[in-house]
């Protein structure tokens, strides 16, 4: 395989990986909202941080996460938004300029995510 073909193959693999990143929130093991648009496309793979935006209401996004997250995630609501604390990631859902912003923040070290 020539260097050009190798570079193209690597580029295609990276694009495919980046496109799949929001589907399972950068390896955190929790699903990402399917109607969300990735707002952090420039973040390096493996950073764990995922931020999505959707025109769907906060309540709809909150209900979707409630139905799709593992049962060991805790749920809180406040100030028109919601937070899910899971063992590997915290998920913040809130209104932002007429849309809903969804942020997955990895839990670092031995923190419990709560």
Domains of the chain: which residue ranges?
Answer: 3-106
60 CB burial (10 A radius; 0-12, 13-18, 19+): middle
Which one-letter DSSP state was computed for residue 101? E
Answer yes or no: is pLDDT of 36 > 50.
yes
The token duo for 10 is 């690597």
pLDDT band at residue 29 using 50, 70 and 90 as cut-offs: confident
Position with higher pLDDT, 33 vs 110: 33
10 CB burial (10 A radius; 0-12, 13-18, 19+): exposed
Query: Dihedral of CA 3/4/9/10: which sign?
Result: positive
Helices assigned H by DSSP within the chain:
3-20, 58-68
Closest Cα partner for 37 from 20, 52, 59? 52
Q: Are 75 and 66 in contact (CB under 8 A)?
A: yes
Position with higher pLDDT, 68 vs 110: 68
User: What pLDDT was estimated at residue 40?
Assistant: 84
pLDDT band at residue 1 using 50, 70 and 90 as cut-offs: low
Q: Over the stretch 41-87, which tens digit does the pLDDT of each residue have?
A: 777 666 778 899 999 999 999 999 999 999 999 999 988 999 999 99
């Amino acid at each position: 395989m020539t260097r050009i073909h190798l570079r193209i193959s690597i580029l295609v693999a990276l694009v495919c990986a980046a496109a799949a990143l929001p589907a399972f929130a950068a390896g955190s093991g929790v699903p990402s909202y399917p109607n969300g648009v990735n707002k952090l496309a420039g973040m390096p793979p493996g950073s764990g941080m995922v931020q999505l935006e959707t025109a769907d209401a906060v309540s709809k996004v909150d209900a979707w996460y409630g139905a799709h997250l593992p049962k060991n995630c805790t749920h809180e609501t406040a100030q028109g938004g919601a937070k899910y604390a899971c063992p590997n990631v915290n998920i913040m859902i809130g209104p932002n300029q007429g849309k809903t912003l969804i942020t997955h923040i990895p839990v670092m070290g031995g923190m419990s995510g709560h």
